[in-house]
Amino acid sequence: MPLVHIDLIEGRSTDQLRQLVKDVTSAVSKNTGAPAEHIHIVLNEMRPDRYSDGGVLRSDEK
């Protein structure tokens, strides 16, 4: 049972996330041989004011 965790900044549409999990499931199945129904994906969406690059909050970037 592959378990995939994906961390990303929030802001993508449901359709974009739906396509992402479809594509990731396909890639994991292809490369591990695991059936799609046994592949689990956790999407962790972070608010831009809760994530920092180089000491600058993503929400402060222009």
* Residue in 1, 2, 44, 53 annotated catalytic: 2
H, E, C per residue of the chain: CCEEEEEEECCCCHHHHHHHHHHHHHHHHHHHCCCHHHCEEEEEEECHHHCEECCEEHHHCC
- Active site includes 35? no
Q: Which residues are catalytic?
A: 2
